[in-house]
Structure 1
Amino acid sequence: MDAKVLDKILGIAFEKRVSDVHFEVDNPPFFRGRGQLIRSKLPSLTPGDTEFISKTILEQNGRALFADLKEVDAAYALPDGGRFRVSIFRQRRHLGVVMRVIPPNIGSFKELQLPPVLADIAKAPNGLILVTGPTGNGKSTTLASILEFLNETQSYNIITIEDPIEFLFTSKKSCIIQREVGIDTHGFDQALKAALRMDPDVIMVGEMRDAETIDACLKAAETGHLVFSTLHTQGAVSTINRLIGNFPPDSQEIVRQRLADILVATVSLRLIKDKAGESLYPVVEVMRNTTTIQACIREGRLEEIEKYIENGQSEYHMQSMDQHLVALCKKGIISMEAAKSISRSMDLERKLMFT
């Protein structure tokens, strides 16, 4: 393995439009395309190969490959500008690498087939907006699309704090500052505190990983800023529970009240295959923090939230995951079997029948 071979393999990933590339000892490189993991016909990798790949990636990030490295996140760029988000780890004492392809262009809401209501949500003057979903279901891509919309339409100072930086932005109507944890700052918490002294209008935090980061995001939203972040949760209710559950029991009631005051919306994503199995479509739950939902959060009546999401479709352009699945089924884009595989309810067919 050398740099030319590595870049050629990664170039194939862009050419074939795969989402991930896997490098593991005693296996050839694997590619994930259309949701399926595909074994390449390339030679199996040796420990020296994965060590070379890891070292090359870390050197580009100004880091060294230490003997006791267990796991690290990084980014990698090809000479032609193609970018990857990278996870380096140890398994069975050898280094392994998984590289997520970052699309070269930031798609618009229409291009990504996201609900147009995201434009209205993004125009909130302040507060907290959360993009959620399992790993690999489009959170980063959606968040980049929202930030690019603001970049093109608003005169904002936008600060991003990422680990690592994924999409590269060019300042347009807005000014965008991008800071990477481990290179430009020591951590999310420190970077958030610094961001408040950098004249921000919008702050994007790549991920809420702990109570300190969550608390800092809440404080930033409470002081009049618009804050975006992500969580690995599957819907509005689980997102609220996860946020509150990060705090000690004696603090949770106060956090609940704070969250009710500053939450603007949650946008939860899942990707689903179309009937032909050729494309992936986003299925999106949109919850906006209406007065009714705000009361549910304050009083702990979270089990009522999905009902209010579904009832708010016409007036507030909210939608539950099931409502979007039903709409995609009715348009003939996805099959009922595919819809059932990601629906969290037991009566999806009944909803389809009576909608």
Structure 2
Amino acid sequence: MSLGSIRVHDLLRAARARRASDVHFGGLERPALRVDGRLVGGDAAPIDDAAARDFLTETLVPEQLARLDARGTADGGAAPGAAGSPYRVHAYRHAGGVRVAVRLLAERIPSLDQLGLPAAVASLAARGAGLVLFTGPTGSGKTTALAALIDRINRTAERTICTIEDPVEYVHVPARSLITQCEIGRDVADFDEALRGFLRADPDVILVGEMRDRATMEAALTAAETGHLVFATLHTNDAAQTVDRIIDAFPPEAHAQVRSQLAAVLAAIVALRLVPRRDGAGRRAAAEILIGTDAVRALIREGKTHMLRNTIVTGRASGMQTLETHLCELVVRGEVTLADAQAVSSRPAEVRAFERSAS
């Protein structure tokens, strides 16, 4: 290992000791850490281009390095090693040099119980088919929640599981299931091509790391229609926005057909946020959950997505809940503060109203 790479790994170990989720370095500035969602300055010396390049050369495969030089960005990941646990890397060119953002991942895949997600989320692992979408902004816990679900399936059922990720973050060891994990740029060219290819690989479960474009969305809908359980992520804020994002990705003349397809296959939408714990011990997930009931399917087919939230509010018996309901429960249980709960909600007044009524 080169001297420059050793410096970076020392930085990553120190960041993990501070419970950082992300590390940023490169250029003349000192490295910065994201701790409990907040960006804080580090005390390490700047990581120059030579050291950053040493680290990237040892972390990324040649194809990923070539992409960085040719197109200005590259993604990759690393299994447990010198930094002590797995991490995800995003490198990008800046002012003639290179900068790197590293996402530090858990040493082990957390269980669904450890994540504290509602029972309705765990029940999705037992579904035989359908489309399950995890949404939320970057860094909201989508990848970790999906890894926990795949781990639950792996440990409890005999299924063929195929994942398409950019990059592979959590590495699954086959238990009762057969698992194939493919990485964009290393194993396959893109999500759409890989997803269509997997349909011929006798899969039971398919995980799509991100539905980035219309072609991938179309392939995911087709996979769910043909009897597979498909998990995927989108960078949307709530259930209604997620439905609209998928439909709007297609031309207007196809909207009616896509609404019908989505209504037929949608099993659930789980919109996540991470909230700092009151005791300072990191963050925990809060979730909005939409379940694909008959009422939900009818609203999607009819294009009445603005009414989905009302259905979530009245659908507690089916496992549905609004983000504000979950946030209020966490406040009442003393897990998070009211201020932090309101900060992650687009309806902070509702969190206050729920909190008052519950107390």
Aligned to 2:335: 333
1:167-316 aligned at under 5 Å gives the runs 167-313=170-316, 315-316=317-318
Structure 1 alignment gaps of length 5 or more: none
Q: Where do residues 61-76 of structure 1 align in structure 2 (5 Å cutoff)?
A: 63-64=65-66, 67-76=69-78
- Encode CA deviations 1:152-173: one digit per residue, 9 max, x unaligned: 1111000001111110000001
Preserved contact between residue 74 and residue 86 of structure 1 (Cα < 8 Å): yes
Q: 1:198 aligns to what SS in structure 2?
A: coil
Amino acid at match of 1:24: G
Shift of 1:115: 1.1
Pick from 12, 35, 38 the counterpart of residue 37 of structure 2: 35
Q: Please tell me whether the aligned partners of residues 64 and 75 of structure 2 are also in contact (alpha carbons under 8 angstroms).
A: no
2-side partners of 1:65 and 1:322: how far apart? 42
Q: CA RMSD in A?
A: 1.8
**Are 2:32 and 2:41, in contact at CA under 8 Å, matched by a contact in 1?**
yes
1:94-126, CA deviations, whole angstroms, 9 ceiling, x for partnerless residues?
A: 210000011111111111111122222221111
Matching residue's letter, 1:85: R
Query: What is aligned with 1:119?
Result: 122
Rounded Cα–Cα distance in structure 1 between residues aligned with 2:343 and 2:65:
42
Deviation at 1:29, TM superposition (A): 1.8
SS at match of 2:192: helix
Measured in 1, the distance between the counterparts of 2:11 and 2:36 equals 18
Contact 1:58 1:65 in 2 (8 A): no
Matched, 1:107 2:110: yes
Structure 1 position 60, deviation (Å): 7.5
C-alpha distance in 2 between matches for 1:196 and 1:138:
27
> Within 1, Cα distance between the matches of 2:198 and 2:10?
39
What CA distance in whole angstroms lies between the structure 2 residues aligned with 1:32 and 1:110?
25
Q: Quote the offset at 1:59 in angstroms.
A: 4.5
Residue 180 of structure 2 aligns to a residue whose secondary structure is strand
Q: Across the two proteins, how many residue pairs are aligned to each other?
A: 354
Deviates more, 1:115-124 or 1:198-207: 115-124
The 10-residue stretch of structure 1 (271-280 or 233-242) with the greater mean CA deviation from structure 2:
271-280
The one-character-per-residue Cα deviations of 1:192-241 (angstroms, maximum 9, x if unpaired) are 11101111000001000000000000000000100000001111101101
For residues 33 and 201 of structure 1, do their structure 2 counterparts lie closer, same or farther at Cα, with a shift above 3 Å needed?
A: same
Residue 92 of structure 1 deviates from its aligned partner by: 1.9
Counterpart Cα distance in 2 of 1:82 and 1:281: 20
Once the two structures are superposed, what CA deviation does each residue of 1:123-150 show, in whole Å capped at 9, x if it has no partner? 1111100011110010000000000000
Deviation, structure 1 residue 36: 2.1
Alignment of 1:342 onto 2:349: no
On the 8 A contact 1:25/1:50 being kept in 2, the answer is no
**Corresponding residue SS for 2:91:** strand
Q: How much does 1:281 deviate? A: 1.8
**Where do 1:312-323 residues align within 5 Å?**
312-313=315-316, 315-323=317-325
Q: Give the unaligned 5+ runs of structure 2.
A: none
Task: Report if the CA contact (8 A) 2:272-2:288 is conserved.
Answer: yes
Instruction: Provide the TM-score with structure 1 as the length reference.
Output: 0.94
Give the corresponding residue for 1:130: 133
TM-score, scaled to structure 2: 0.93
Which one is further off, 142-151 or 315-324?
315-324
Report deviation, 1:68. Answer: 3.6
Aligned match of 1:13: 15
Amino acid at match of 1:162: E
Check conservation: 1:55, 1:65, Cα contact below 8 A. Answer: no
| Structure 2 residue 337 is matched with structure 1 residue 354 | no
Which whole-Å deviations, capped at 9, do the CAs of 1:229-263 have from their partners, x for residues lacking one? 00011111011011111111111111011000000
Partner residue, 1:45:
47
1:32 partner letter: R
CA distance in 1, matches of 2:152, 2:99: 36
2:23 is paired with a residue whose SS is: strand
Instruction: Indicate if the aligned counterparts of 1:205 and 1:228 stay in contact, CA closer than 8 A.
Output: yes
Structure 1 residue 335 displacement after superposition: 2.2
Q: Helix, strand or coil: the match of 1:164?
A: coil
Alpha-carbon distance, 1:16 to partner: 3.1
Identify if the C-alpha distance between structure 1 residues 311 and 67 changes in structure 2 by more than 3 Å, giving closer, same or farther: closer
Partner in structure 1 of residue 58 of structure 2:
56
% identical aligned pairs = 35
Query: Deviations along 1:35-87, whole A, 9 cap, x unmatched?
Result: 22222222223333333333332247774476444111111345356211111
Secondary structure in 2 aligned to 1:284?
strand
Tell whether the 8 Å contact from 2:8 to 2:52 is kept in structure 1 after alignment: no
Moved more, 326-335 or 166-175: 326-335
Asked if 2 retains the 8 angstrom alpha-carbon contact of 1:7 and 1:78, the reply is no
Equivalent residue of 1:88, what SS?
strand
SS of corresponding position for 2:113 = coil
